Amino acid sequence: MSTTTDLAGWTPARRPDATRLVGARVRLDPLDAERHAGDLFAAAHGPGADPRLWDHLGYGPFAGVAALRAHLAAQQRSEDPRFYAVVDLATGRAAGVVSFLRVDPAHGTIEIGHIWFGGPLQRTPQATEAVHLLARHAFDTLGHRRLEWKCDAANGRSQAAAQRFGFTYEGTFRQHQIVKGRNRDTAWYSIVDGEWPAIDAAFAAWLAPANFDADGRQRASLARLRGAVAG
């Protein structure tokens, strides 16, 4: 793996493709509008739905399954962003969407975004594993040097998630976009390859069954584990 100071032998990274990414709790399937629309609509609008889910996304909410299916069909055809459905292995149902985007193999940079998790998936080990699968694929399989996370600076939940996952805040682009008729300042975060081994180890330790008690509560936080690895 390259570092920010040593690029001897650097070769361009690879682009993500339609490969399924499989973990212990979830798998990331290439998005399929016909197969996933019903589950995703239920995740977004059914019991436990998050009323704030679409506040900071450039699309949604959707009036019905047909409207969501049409939206997903357009995303399915895209190669950058490359979209995946987050499928809970315990239920076999899609519960959210993630993507790789702004892929620049020559410079080894890639972003994860268009992330939305239905209410029942939020703040679960499955959600954390989905991000871990993306990050591990970006660095270890595709060979990127830099993984980015960007979000609306008004989206405190997304910023807190980025920090929890080990991304470093780099600054805010002011008046960066107009989203749903509102100004968006965009907060930028990143992980670089030299940081990845410790972050990866902390993810693995947090996701290990031994880190959860009989009621499913974490024994150690992700931040604590990352500090222990780094220390």
Percent of the chain with pLDDT over 90: 94
Query: For 60, how many CA atoms within 13 A lie in the half-sphere containing its CB?
Result: 22
Q: For residue 3, is pLDDT > 90?
A: no
Nearest to 126 by CA among 87, 100, 158: 87
Domains assigned to the chain:
21-144 (3.40.630.30)
pLDDT tens sequence across 67-100? 999 999 999 999 999 999 999 999 999 999 999 9
**Which band of pLDDT confidence, cut at 50, 70 and 90, is reported for residue 9?**
confident
Q: What is the pLDDT of residues 112-142, one digit of tens each?
A: 999 999 999 999 999 999 999 999 999 999 9
**Can you name the residues that pair with 113 across neighbouring β-strands?**
99
Is residue 167 predicted with pLDDT exceeding 50? yes
Residue position matching structure tokens 């330790």: 205
Quote the pLDDT of residue 1.
Answer: 39
Q: Please tell me whether residue 67 adopts helix, strand or coil conformation.
A: helix
The pLDDT, as a whole number, for residue 229 is 86
Asked if residue 80 lies in contact with residue 101, where contact means CB atoms within 8 angstroms, the answer is yes
* CA-atom Rg of the chain in angstroms: 17
Per-residue DSSP letters for 194-216?
A: TTHHHHHHHHHHHHSGGGB-TTS
Could you report the per-residue pLDDT of 136-163, keeping only the tens digit for each?
A: 999 999 999 999 999 999 999 999 999 9
DSSP 31: P
Q: What is the pTM of this model?
A: 0.95
- Average predicted confidence (pLDDT) for the chain: 96
Residue 41 has pLDDT above 90, yes or no: yes
Supply the pLDDT for residue 5: 60
Q: Indicate the burial class of 148 (C-beta count within 10 angstroms; 0-12, 13-18, 19 or more).
A: buried
- Respond yes or no on whether the N-terminal peptide bond of residue 197 is cis (omega within 30° of 0): no
